[in-house]
């Protein structure tokens, strides 16, 4: 079985301007260095607003920080008359590693559907970015007990037409919508149920090797008090952290879950 390096990703959402971003990333870097964090045992990345990318890049390069960084969305197009969109080419030029695609807030407030998520995923991969494809059910679906089939349909949509080679590079984040920003963290077994099903689906769609290579994260109200139990589940390969990623000490603690 492949050994998957855990990934702890902070999604800042629409918080922090480019000056505040430097302050936050500096403090995060300090806490990780203070704790002698070994990035080989858990990768740490921050997904920041587009306007913060240059500041974060400058800091990471100057400090030779082990942190990587990413964006929260990307266009399905490469260039041209798409007002307000950001090309994966621009992100790659700024040293971006990851890009979140299909976050539930984009699906909900910007009408993004599986076809668009698929197009963005392909575009990111074509330009050397690693997509973090977000999937997960709302409360109604959870109450109806349909969380696995609902989420797997989103996975099928996101991976449609992807080669095995590309599929192996993708990160999937299972984020049940009812657990986002609510303080309502899914239990470790809730996370394992869906994360395990996602991996099994990738094995069906591709192969055991691809399924083994893909990191499947959990997201939704993750805190330093919940990360250890979540990471103990065999198909939870990391976390996508919202609110708690804005507190550098708390986020560093989450990243250092192996030391807890």
Ligand X SMILES: O=C(CO)COP(=O)(O)O
Using the contact rule CB under 6 A, the part of the chain among 35-43, 135-143, 147-155, 218-226 near ligand X is: 218-226
Spatial separation of the C-alpha atoms in residues 177 and 180, rounded to whole Å = 5
Q: Which of 31, 103, 112, 137 is catalytic?
A: 103
Q: Is 11 labeled as ligand-binding?
A: yes
Residue 31 among the catalytic residues: no
Q: Is 138 labeled as ligand-binding?
A: no
Site for ligand X in 18-47 (CB under 6 A): none
- Phi, psi for residue 99 in degrees, rounded to 5: -140, 125
Site for ligand X in 50-79 (CB under 6 A): none
Residue 193 among the catalytic residues: no
Q: Which is nearer to ligand X, 45 or 210 (CB)?
A: 45
**Cβ at position 233, least distance to ligand X in Å:** 17
Spatial separation of the C-alpha atoms in residues 27 and 50, rounded to whole Å = 20
The answer to the question of residue 11 lying near ligand X (CB under 6 A) is yes
Spatial separation of the C-alpha atoms in residues 248 and 252, rounded to whole Å = 6
Interface with ligand X (CB under 6 A), residue total 14
Q: Which is nearer to ligand X, 13 or 201 (CB)?
A: 13
Q: For residue 241, count other CB atoms closer than 10 A to its CB.
A: 29
Q: Which is nearer to ligand X, 25 or 244 (CB)?
A: 244
The secondary structure of 10-78 as a DSSP string is EE--S---HHHHHHHHHHHHHHHHHTT--TTTSEEEEE--GGGHHHHHHHHHHHT-S-EEEES---SSS
Using the contact rule CB under 6 A, the part of the chain among 121-129, 161-169, 238-246, 252-260 near ligand X is: 238-246
Q: Is 13 labeled as ligand-binding?
A: yes
Q: Which of 105, 137, 175, 233 is catalytic?
A: 175
Residue least distant from ligand X (Cβ): 242
The answer to the question of residue 181 lying near ligand X (CB under 6 A) is yes
The answer to the question of residue 220 lying near ligand X (CB under 6 A) is yes
The answer to the question of residue 238 lying near ligand X (CB under 6 A) is no
Greatest Cα pair distance in the chain? 51
Identify the CA nearest to 217 among candidates 168, 170, 178.
170
Q: Write out the two tokens for 188.
A: 């470790």
Spatial separation of the C-alpha atoms in residues 153 and 238, rounded to whole Å = 22
- Phi, psi for residue 150 in degrees, rounded to 5: -60, -50
Spatial separation of the C-alpha atoms in residues 97 and 70, rounded to whole Å = 6
Spatial separation of the C-alpha atoms in residues 54 and 87, rounded to whole Å = 15
The answer to the question of residue 242 lying near ligand X (CB under 6 A) is yes
Which residues lie near ligand X (CB under 6 A)? 11, 103, 175, 180-181, 219-222, 240-244
Catalogue the active-site residues. Answer: 103, 175
Q: Please enumerate, by residue number, every residue annotated as part of a binding site for substrate.
A: 11-13, 181, 221, 242-243
Binding residues: 11-13, 181, 221, 242-243
């Amino acid at each position: 079985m492949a050994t998957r390096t855990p990934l702890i990703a902070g999604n800042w959402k629409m918080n922090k301007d480019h000056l505040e971003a430097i302050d936050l990333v500096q403090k995060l870097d300090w806490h990780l260095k203070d704790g002698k964090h070994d990035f080989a045992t858990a990768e740490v990345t921050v997904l920041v607003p587009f306007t913060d990318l240059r500041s974060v890049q400058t800091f990471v390069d100057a400090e030779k920080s082990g942190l990587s960084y990413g964006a929260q969305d990307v266009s399905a197009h490469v260039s041209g008359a798409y007002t307000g969109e950001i090309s994966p080419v621009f992100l790659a030029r700024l040293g971006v590693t990851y890009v979140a695609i299909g976050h539930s807030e984009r699906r909900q407030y910007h009408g993004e559907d599986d076809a668009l998520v698929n197009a963005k995923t392909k575009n990111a991969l074509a330009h050397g970015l690693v997509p973090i494809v977000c999937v997960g059910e709302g409360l109604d679906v959870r109450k109806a007990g349909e969380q696995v089939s609902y989420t797997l349909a989103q996975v099928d949509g996101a991976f449609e037409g992807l080669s095995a080679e590309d599929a192996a590079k993708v990160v999937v984040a299972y984020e049940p919508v009812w657990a986002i920003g609510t303080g309502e963290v899914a239990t470790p077994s809730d996370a394992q149920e869906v994360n395990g099903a996602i991996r099994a689906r990738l094995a069906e769609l591709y192969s055991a090797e691809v399924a083994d290579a893909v990191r499947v994260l959990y997201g939704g109200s993750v805190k330093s008090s919940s990360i250890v139990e979540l990471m103990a589940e065999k198909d939870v390969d990391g976390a996508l952290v919202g609110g708690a990623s804005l507190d550098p000490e708390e986020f560093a603690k989450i990243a250092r879950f192996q030391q807890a």
